[in-house]
Amino acid sequence: MECTNCGKETKDIVDELCVECVLKKIPIVRSMKQIKISICSNCGAYSTHKGFRKGGSIRDIVKVTVEKSLKPDPRYTNARFSTKFTVPVFKMKPRQKLSFEVEVVAKALLDNIHVKEDYVFPIHIKTATCDKCSKEGSGYFEGILQLRNTDNKNYETALEYIKNSMEKVRKLSIFATKYVDVKNGVDIYITKRQFIQKLANNVFGRFGGEVKQNANLFSRDNLTSKRIYRLSVLIRLPDFAVGDILKIKRDYVRVKKVIGKKVMGNVLSKDSVKGFDYVNNDYKIAAKKSELKQTTVDKIYPKLEVLHPETYQSVEIKNPKKNIKIGQEVTVFVNGGVWLV
């Protein structure tokens, strides 16, 4: 059969035209404007007609955006698109721009005839700041994490843990908008209320202490009339630290580890490790780690004795241990007697 437009002889004729002439008259892809993509330089989210959404690599974002932008003419069926492009070197920093081209191969059916067409589309990318990340510099916050007790040996470690945790969730658009030093601690203003609770539980699990929280009515959603609350979570670190001596009931316990509301420690009188719920049990700090004394073993027979670190008299140890040698340096706790720790 002969194409009525170009005269070409071919068996694939649609409306008296060959495939080439049909494609010139009715392209597979309708006219498409330049593709412009905004990518958040902080979290990697990219812009859509519904706002910013999470994306993967620049390659993934471009591929998805191009394929969603390609609209086939309704005369074609079973349209399929494949893309080919190379992303130039690009640093994800504020106020950056990038332009390149994407090759698109379109395949479809037209009256049961297989047709194929190649396109080249320009891509323009610029970095921006998404709505969520813009909160970081705005001072916006949904709650405050209040860390207290600067006297605790682990205070700086706990604060560093919080800062590292906040850094890890930046990609999730969760930020600490400011750290405010207050008496005996710091207030950390955080943009995600649910994350504050999770972080507080993690800090409590690692460093122990006391956790209290309360929610204050902040505003009301204009669309849903739903109440919006700001959350305050207090974490008061324990007044003791690893290495301190606690008196729990009748036992003297040297703290080895604090896990939430439980302290693991060496019971001096039994030379054994035991766990105590210090939140629900009365305890006293018998001695800080810095108050423990160094002395020397004076006798091992018939009883273990050391030089009293204050009187320098030979005194019997309350909790003698094996494999101790004369002249050996030991750490002791003095309280109505001398205990090896």
| pLDDT tens profile 272-331 | 898 888 877 788 999 999 999 999 999 999 999 999 999 999 999 999 988 899 999 999
- CA 110/CA 118 separation, integer angstroms: 16
Tell me what pLDDT residue 295 has: 95
219, 236, 253 — which closes off a domain?
236
Over the Cα atoms of the chain, what is R_g? 36
274 inside domain: no
**Pair (187, 164) in one structural domain:** yes
Mean pLDDT of the residues in the chain: 87
Per-residue confidence at 24, pLDDT binned at 50, 70, 90?
A: confident
**Pair (216, 177) in one structural domain:** yes
Q: Which stretch of 27-41, 163-177, 299-313 has the lowest confidence by average pLDDT?
A: 27-41
247 inside domain: no
Please state the rounded mean pLDDT for residues 176-189. 93
Q: Name which of 297, 154, 175 is nearest 239 in CA terms.
A: 154
Q: Name which of 37, 24, 231, 221 is nearest 146 in CA terms.
A: 231
Q: Residue 44 — φ and ψ, nearest 5°?
A: 85, 5
Per-residue confidence at 11, pLDDT binned at 50, 70, 90?
A: confident
Residue 132: pLDDT above 80? no
Q: Residue 283 — φ and ψ, nearest 5°?
A: -145, 160
128, 147, 162 — which closes off a domain?
128
Tell me what pLDDT residue 8 has: 84
**Pair (114, 20) in one structural domain:** yes
280 inside domain: no
260 inside domain: no
Tell me what pLDDT residue 146 has: 96
Going from the C-alpha of 210 to that of each of 152, 233, 238, 285, the distances in angstroms are 13, 10, 7, 17
Residue 223: pLDDT above 70? no
Please state the rounded mean pLDDT for residues 103-122. 89
Top pLDDT among 90 and 190 is at 190
Tell me what pLDDT residue 140 has: 82
63, 96, 128 — which closes off a domain?
128
Residue 113: pLDDT above 90? no
Q: Which stretch of 51-55, 64-68, 145-149 has the lowest confidence by average pLDDT?
A: 51-55
Range of the domain at 335: 292-341
Per-residue confidence at 220, pLDDT binned at 50, 70, 90?
A: low
262 inside domain: no
Per-residue confidence at 225, pLDDT binned at 50, 70, 90?
A: low
**Pair (123, 169) in one structural domain:** no
**Pair (18, 124) in one structural domain:** yes
193 inside domain: yes
**Pair (122, 138) in one structural domain:** no
141 inside domain: yes
**Pair (121, 221) in one structural domain:** no
How many domains does one find in the chain?
A: 3
Percent of the chain predicted with pLDDT > 70: 95
243 inside domain: no
Tell me what pLDDT residue 318 has: 92
Global pTM value: 0.59
**Pair (84, 146) in one structural domain:** no
**Pair (302, 329) in one structural domain:** yes
**Pair (199, 167) in one structural domain:** yes
**What are the pLDDT digits (tens) for 159-168?**
999 999 999 9
**What are the pLDDT digits (tens) for 233-256?**
999 999 888 899 999 888 899 999
**Pair (108, 168) in one structural domain:** no
Tell me what pLDDT residue 182 has: 94
Q: Name which of 43, 45, 54, 116 is nearest 79 in CA terms.
A: 116
Please state the rounded mean pLDDT for residues 130-150. 83
Q: Residue 26 burial (CB < 10 Å; 0-12/13-18/19+)?
A: middle
Per-residue confidence at 31, pLDDT binned at 50, 70, 90?
A: low
Please state the rounded mean pLDDT for residues 263-278. 89
Residue 156: pLDDT above 90? yes
**Pair (22, 56) in one structural domain:** yes
Per-residue confidence at 94, pLDDT binned at 50, 70, 90?
A: confident
Tell me what pLDDT residue 259 has: 86
Helices and strands in the chain, H and E counts? 4, 23
